[in-house]
């Protein structure tokens, strides 16, 4: 019994460490990562409703929605990404990849109780 519990605890700690290292992140490595975000949720689908892949990542931050939106508007307006529209009233930024024109998505930023939730949806053909 003690061995099973210890193994589960060690396995859980290893999984948490792996999460911190890789983030179970389905976003491309060149996608801007908001600093200091905590673990959230993710989903990835290949050839779901439409051909290609769909990545949905959810992160938490202690920063304000304005600060998070400023970061993504700035970072997605440079390098290989481009902002295609921004609606700060609803906290949403639409973007596309400059080099892979059909790769696009949205960043949704919402104030929750005590934190800011960042949801990134990315679609790739």
Which pLDDT belongs to residue 49?
65
Label residues 53-79 b or e (16+ Cβ within 10 Å = b): bbbbbbbbbebebeebbebbeebbeee
Residues (pLDDT < 50) of the chain are: 1-22
Q: End-to-end CA distance of the chain, in Å?
A: 49
Which pLDDT belongs to residue 44?
80
Which pLDDT belongs to residue 57?
94
Residue with tokens 């210890």: 6
Which pLDDT belongs to residue 61?
95
CATH number of 26-124: 3.30.530.20
- The answer to whether the beta carbons of residues 114 and 108 sit under 8 Å apart is no
Cα(95)–Cα(103) distance, integer angstroms: 9
The 10s digit of each residue's pLDDT in 76-95 is 988 899 999 999 999 999 99
């Amino acid at each position: 019994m003690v061995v099973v519990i210890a193994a589960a605890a060690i396995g859980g700690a290893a999984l948490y460490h792996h999460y911190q290292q890789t983030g179970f992140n389905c976003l491309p490595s060149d996608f801007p990562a908001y600093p200091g975000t905590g673990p959230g949720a993710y989903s990835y689908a290949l050839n779901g409703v439409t051909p290609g892949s769909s990545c949905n990542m959810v992160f938490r931050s202690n920063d304000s929605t304005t600060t998070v939106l400023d970061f993504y508007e700035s970072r997605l307006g440079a390098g290989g990404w481009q902002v295609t529209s921004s609606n700060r009233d609803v906290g949403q930024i639409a973007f596309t990849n400059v080099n892979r024109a059909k790769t696009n998505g949205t960043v949704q930023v919402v104030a929750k109780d005590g934190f800011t939730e960042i949801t990134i949806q990315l679609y790739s053909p």
